[in-house]
Amino acid sequence: ATLKMATAKESQSCVFCKIVTREDKETRILYEDEDYVCFRDIKPAAKHHYLVIPKKHLPGVKHLDDTHIPIIENMVEIGLSLLEGQGGTKDDVRTGFHWPPFTSVNHLHLHVISPTSSLGFFSRNVMYKPDSWAFATSEWAVNYLKGKPHVNS
C-alpha cells in the first residue's frame, strides 16, 4: 500500500509535530538529530519511558510498508541509546507501538520502557503487553512490515 502522508492540516494539529517545531514549549527534548526527536512520555509507565518520533509526520506503524523498516530500526537504536544515556538498562526493556484503536497520537512513535519489571498490572497486562491487541513490540512490527511489500502507485 502507498503511504498516505498527513495533510498540512493534520500536521498542524499534531501534538508531536508541535514538539518537533518547538511550538510546544513544555516538552523537554532529550535527543535530536536530523530525522528524529526523543522525549519523556507524558504519562510514564516506568522510571524510564521515552518516545522516539520521526520529525517527518508519518501515521502509525499499521499504515507503513516494508520500505519503512529502516525507520523502525533507527528509532529502536536511538531509543536504546537514549535509555542507556539516561541511566537505564537494556536488560529489562520493552520497545514497541500501540495498535489502533489504542494509538493516542496519529504520528508514528516508539515507546521505550524500562524497567518492565516495575510495570503495574494494567500496563503489564494490557497497555504494554507484548504483541497483544493493544501493543506491538518493535520486533513484531518489523516482521509485520516485512510481509507488507511496497506497492508503487
pLDDT at 3: 42
Among the listed residues 91, 85, 147, 79, the one whose alpha carbon sits nearest the alpha carbon of residue 118? 91
pLDDT at 109: 96
pLDDT at 100: 79
More confident residue, 13 or 10: 13
pLDDT at 94: 97
More confident residue, 116 or 12: 116
More confident residue, 102 or 139: 139
Contact 89, 81 (CB under 8 A): no
pLDDT at 116: 95
* CA–CA dist 133, 127 (Å, integer): 9
36: which strand partners?
54
The set of catalytic residues is 109
pLDDT at 153: 42
* CA–CA dist 57, 37 (Å, integer): 12
Asked if residue 9 has pLDDT above 70, the reply is: no
* CA–CA dist 66, 151 (Å, integer): 10
- DSSP annotation of 127 reads I
For the stretch 20-72, pLDDT in tens is 999 999 999 999 999 999 999 999 999 999 999 999 999 888 889 999 999 99
